[in-house]
Structure 1
């Protein structure tokens, strides 16, 4: 016998693009109370999006809600575009933050602040792993990307929960031209960034690949953007504010805004648009 209602409120939100159907969609179940882990993973596998989320009551008075985040294959402690998309869905469903202008999301990675004045933006959580990649892993990545080691300008762990590593190439064009063979790195969560020519709208082009959790190429990735921004702004390699473009190789047009404050807090934001409203049967 079922112990939960047949239907739950549901929204699908396009994240990181002002043009509908051009960003990264996230499926949001707005009442995950009583939904089992198996049901959550089953729905995430069926939606076949990068992530599907479930909004639950918080376990601490500091948070506005608890969010669980699933890829088609696994649960993540944190992810960027699901954080923004779920916040947008929660607000559209009538959610009221405890503090005006700021939402606090509880997730497995801890508490994440989200500003909702203009574009939604989340405060990047602390990295749980940083520093240069070891030679063996870097060799696997360059083999998968089909490039020589000498083309990598810099590399770094930028892991804030999902397990991200990144390599920096000289240009955005080099990033866009990659034709990765992910069979070399089936357990990876890895990205590549490269600079656009000076004076344009975007500072970097980024691509992210997550075969470890069943996502071959992500159309737009907030968590990777957050970890990369913490690395590059702290080292002085990037300005305090810039934009990242992502998704053109998979037919999307994502724009990710990054801003680092004087205290080191990095905010990652972008457009969020609810495109589907209804219910989902569980």
Structure 2
């Protein structure tokens, strides 16, 4: 057996015991996909990252990302958390305070900028792939979404928003709900979600009704088929959500900075920063950002 260093972080939060927990295995060389999947099940967090040498030496590292059930080509809180951790390591080595590097993920190279602090930091990354519609046929009907989520049909949708499907590397079904009350009442049924949206469904609920004026939207995410009953903070879903914003929200030209709050219903409050750059009515670039706090360090022997 080999002792492999790991670190856990709370991501999309500035304080411990909030946000989305993440495990990062730093010495992943020699592990195959089956071993990584088994380790991810052992940690049993929404995602576990394995850090490998980059294929291109100009990049900082290559990442593989696993839920307890499957590998993902891209995910937001693993990218932010791992970027902060690597930035903290580089700062110890004497690198400047603001650190920029590329992380190789299966979706492509993800450009990151990190501002490391003491045991914590903040990172942002540019989406390697802008959101696009996915799937065949019509978007889910409100009645179908309502039945799968334990809501009334009148709870689904508000203003111009209706259920849609977008992906910025990881596909999500995006379901708007009319109020914060409806968001809190959602009680998805795993079998009903699978019938409505497919076996690998990842469903992101959101509303523009928020308690905090600093929050643009409030959200929840469910992916029982991936081993995630509910996720406290989902950067990849927010990346996909930027597609819904372009489809339904009357955003104008220029740069738009938004904050999506998630995890409050779980007692794990999280804040995900989303920046959109719109030119000539087209989304030209998008960034996801947030803070992360180191929680534990140790070794796993496999």
Q: 2:237 aligns with which of 224, 227, 234?
A: 224
Q: Which structure 1 residue ranges, 5 or more long, are not aligned?
A: none
The answer to whether the Cα contact below 8 Å between 2:51 and 2:63 also exists between their aligned partners in 1 is yes
User: Equivalences for 1:1-282 in 2 at 5 Å?
Assistant: 6-94=2-90, 101-117=99-115, 119-127=122-130, 129-130=132-133, 134=138, 139-150=143-154, 151-153=156-158, 154-186=162-194, 187=199, 188-197=201-210, 200-233=213-246, 236-237=249-250, 240-262=256-278, 264-282=284-302
1:81-135 per-position Cα deviation (integer Å, ceiling 9, x unaligned): 01111112222233788xx632211111111111214721121232564169725
TM-score (norm 1): 0.88
Offset of residue 137 of structure 1? 6.8
Tell me what 2:118 maps to.
none
Offset of residue 51 of structure 1? 0.4
TM-score (norm 2): 0.83
Paired residue total: 277
The whole-number CA distance in structure 1 between the counterparts of 2:264 and 2:131 is: 30
The whole-number CA distance in structure 1 between the counterparts of 2:174 and 2:102 is: 28
Distance 1:64 1:197, change over 3 A: closer
Q: Which structure 2 residue ranges, 5 or more long, are not aligned?
A: 116-120
The whole-number CA distance in structure 1 between the counterparts of 2:69 and 2:213 is: 37
The whole-number CA distance in structure 2 between the counterparts of 1:191 and 1:53 is: 22
Q: What is the CA RMSD across the aligned residues, in angstroms?
A: 2.6
Counterpart secondary structure, 1:227: helix
1:20-76 per-position Cα deviation (integer Å, ceiling 9, x unaligned): 011101100112111121110001011110001100111124422100000001000
1:213-240 per-position Cα deviation (integer Å, ceiling 9, x unaligned): 1101001111101111243157544581
The whole-number CA distance in structure 2 between the counterparts of 1:135 and 1:165 is: 9
Offset of residue 273 of structure 1? 0.9
